Amino acid sequence: MAKKVVIVGGGIAGIYVLRNLLARKGDLGAGEELEFTVLKREKSGWVSVCGLPFALRGWYEIGRTEINKPEFFREQGVDFRTETEVTKLNLEEGEGSVTLNTGEEIKYDFLVLATGRKQSVKETELDGVFTFNNEEDAEKIEAALNEEGVKSAYIRGRGILGLQAAAAFATRGLKTTLHGGAPSLLPSNLDPEMGDLVKERLEKKGIRFILDAREITAIKSEGREGRVK
């Protein structure tokens, strides 16, 4: 009987787990078999998140960041489900299952949680306030950028996506401020000296940086006017 593998999350982590397991199916012993189910909240297949900021610059349409459509995985025998959320986990040994927003329960032998991390700021339903994690977020940001009267942007986060988004906003003529932790940019990728070089280059494009340990304590949004404290 086939063992069931359920992967929650269809971002780069979940997809790479899936691809590696599919590639190793030939290593299974006689009579061993794996069945795969991928549960993804977003509507698309595998999307290049790193490509989204370049779409915001206008280099190409957001839809072109979709590397593989859901059908690509389904043709390989994967039960690939989009616009699907997990509402409950049953982690009991031998009785593991996930419950979906549709009420359906899916049992598993192996469970992979690859949902990424949540943003620390909760006020994401306010006008003009967006997260930037996937193609749906990019579509909302693109729509806002195309509205009249948009003059400035504040970005919380000094990682690759934050920097690319800042560059995209500055390219489109917005007064752009990026707020991240001290002491330098991209601390997981670059040493402080290289991070400072990146900062200097982006400052020449008009991007303002605030690099300190202060956290956001309040966000106010009144129509097109927003404030961060």
For 176-224, how does the pLDDT look when each residue is reduced to its tens digit (9 = 90+)? 999 988 788 988 889 999 999 999 999 999 999 999 877 777 777 766 6
Task: Give the whole-angstrom CA distance, residue 189 versus residue 195.
Answer: 9
Q: Where are the alpha helices (DSSP H) in the chain?
A: 12-23, 52-56, 70-74, 135-145, 160-171, 192-203
CATH 3.50.50.60 placement within the chain: 3-113, 135-228
Give the pLDDT confidence score for residue 90 in this predicted structure: 93
Terminal Cα-to-Cα distance of the chain (whole angstroms) = 57
Residues 95-101: what's their mean pLDDT?
94
pLDDT at 123 over 60: no
Question: Cis bond leading into 183, ω under 30°?
Answer: yes
Phi first, then psi, for residue 197 (nearest 5°) are -65, -40
Q: Where are the alpha helices (DSSP H) in 42-150?
A: 52-56, 70-74, 135-145
Q: Which residue has tokens 């404030």? A: 227
Residues 5-34: what's their mean pLDDT?
88
What single letter denotes the amino acid at residue 171? T
Which pTM does this prediction carry?
Answer: 0.83
Instruction: Quote the CATH superfamily of domain 135-228.
Output: FAD/NAD(P)-binding domain (3.50.50.60)
Q: Which residues contact 170 (CB under 8 A, 6 or more apart)?
A: 176, 202, 205, 206, 207
Give the other-Cβ count within 10 Å of 187's Cβ: 15
Instruction: Quote the CATH superfamily of domain 3-113.
Output: FAD/NAD(P)-binding domain (3.50.50.60)
Task: Give the whole-angstrom CA distance, residue 66 versus residue 47.
Answer: 4
pLDDT at 119 over 70: no
